[in-house]
Amino acid sequence: MNTATVTSLESSSTTASSSLRNKHNGNSNGTSNLKTAAKPTTSENNRTTEELRRAIQKKYRHVAAVHSKSRPSTLSHDSNTAPSFIGFRNLMVIVLIVGNLRLMMENIQKYGVLICVRCHDFRRQDLALGLGLYLLIPCHLFAAYLIELAAAQQARGLRAKSKDGAASPTEDQRSRFNSTWKIIAWIHAVNITLALAVTSYVVYFHIHHPLIGTLTELHAIIVWLKTASYAFTNRDLRHAYLHPVKGELAAMPEIYQQCPYPQNISMHNLAYFWWAPTLVYQPAYPRTDKIRWVFVGKRMAEVFGLGVFIWFASAQYATPVLINSLDKIASLDVPKILERLMKLSTISLVIWLAGFFALFQSFLNALAEVTRFGDRCFYEDWWNSESLGAYWRLWNKPVYQYFKRHVYSPLIGRGWSPKAAQLAVFFASAVLHEVLVGIPTHNIIGVAFAGMFLQLPLIAITTPLEKMQTPTGRMLGNCIFWVSFTILGQPFAALMYFYAWQAKYGSVSRQMAWNSVASS
């Protein structure tokens, strides 16, 4: 063989060997890839047990453990967490709305529309006397200012003749001060008594319409309370001014330093107190920086809207129930009276709640905004009251603060027991309630007095429930409050005074007259 042939054979052999090596290498790589695929990846190694459990659940749908631990029922006492009842609250609201809509439709179908704008019995005499009394009643507050102005002038003269003391006043100084105070107190007493007595006389004998009479009497009571507070507060301030014990003046409320005695005896100070939404006199009050007139407009719109609603509800719903109750009361049909009472309780509660919001939330806030009165805590969450005592402390803060400051605390300071002082407070409040309701309706029958004074036994019953640590006791106290408030309280009083009014002026009096004529 020649050289070319040998070279060609070597080249072919080399190519074949290379091909066999490549094929062997390829098989080797394939085996390596299979081994690599069989080994778990790094991400699979990092999968948590929970992820694997979810993956298994997706893969094996029928093996999920539904019952994996012991659990109590949601409403069971063994449950560790209290469930939310917002859904039931929403259901109750819906049921309440639907139920009242049904009653409204039934009322319209049975009685028709009873609203009549022109059907009122406002006599011109009632309007004239009501307006006249509204303008004259504040004159008694001005008379109290003149009394205190004279007392302040005398105090300035006595202060100029004496020196600041470092001890309590002597017996002689105390005696002279008490003698002077007795004279001032008698003049104040005559003034405020006339304010209430004259108004009550005119309302009872000369103002027929109960609404005008109630508004007039309420204004007189407010001015009466304010005048008494003005006299009592300035009495203590005058005593501290005339007999300044070292450190005592500095211990006075800090806000009083803005207008110390006797600088507070001024017409401007008195006029502000007259219009301020409080019954308690102070030389100075917390004030806001400016008046938000948009806020005032919104609150007055609420007053107007709620006033229209109260008028509509009273005429359309409350009046028919009251009228239909007259014959039951006259015949002393107790089951029917109770049925009427429960029917009246719903609408009376709605009217009362609307009146509460209109007065304490809307009107007093509007008045506070106009006068820039800063302390607007006119009420607290009385609806959560766990006792009757808590309710009377929370629902009407101006009146509560007044009686605590000017009646309860002074009596405690004189050595009275807390229960005796509480009895005096409720007695005074009961008298004012009877005056406010009985005089405008021309029927002083004692229902308002008894309803207020009999709160004391209910307070004694519910106070231990309020102090109980268990929710059951507090819930029971709140339920007793609502039952006494919605059924035994206002509806019963409204029924009694309406019957007394009708017996004196309305259909019952005409029936009585007819029966007497027929019997004769």
Residues identified as active-site: 433
Estimate to the nearest angstrom the gap between the alpha carbon of 435 and the chain centroid: 24
User: 432-439 — which CB contacts under 8 Å span 24+ positions?
Assistant: 432/221, 435/196, 435/200, 435/217, 435/221, 436/214, 436/217, 436/218, 436/221, 437/214, 437/493, 437/497, 438/497, 439/200, 439/203, 439/204, 439/213, 439/217
- Environment class of residue 45 by beta-carbon count within 10 Å: exposed (0-12), middle (13-18) or buried (19+)? exposed
Cα gap 422→416, rounded to integer Å: 10
Interhelix angle 490-505/319-330, rounded to 10 degrees, is: 70
Exposed e or buried b per residue across 339-348, where buried means at least 16 C-beta atoms within 10 angstroms of its C-beta? ebbebbbbbb
Q: Is residue 287 classed as helix, strand or coil in its secondary structure?
A: strand
Residue 30 carries which side chain, given as an amino acid letter? G
End-to-end CA distance of the chain: give it in Å, rounded.
171
Whole-angstrom CA distances from 311 to 209, 315, 351, 402 are: 15, 6, 9, 30
Q: Is residue 73 classed as helix, strand or coil in its secondary structure?
A: coil
How many C-beta atoms lie closer than 10 Å to residue 363's C-beta?
A: 19
CA neighbor of 489 nearest in space, from 388, 409, 397: 388
CA neighbor of 321 nearest in space, from 309, 307, 339, 303: 339
Q: Is residue 217 classed as helix, strand or coil in its secondary structure?
A: helix
Q: Where is 303: in which H helix or E strand? A: helix 293-313
Which residue stretches of 314-394 are H helix?
319-330, 334-356, 364-371, 388-394
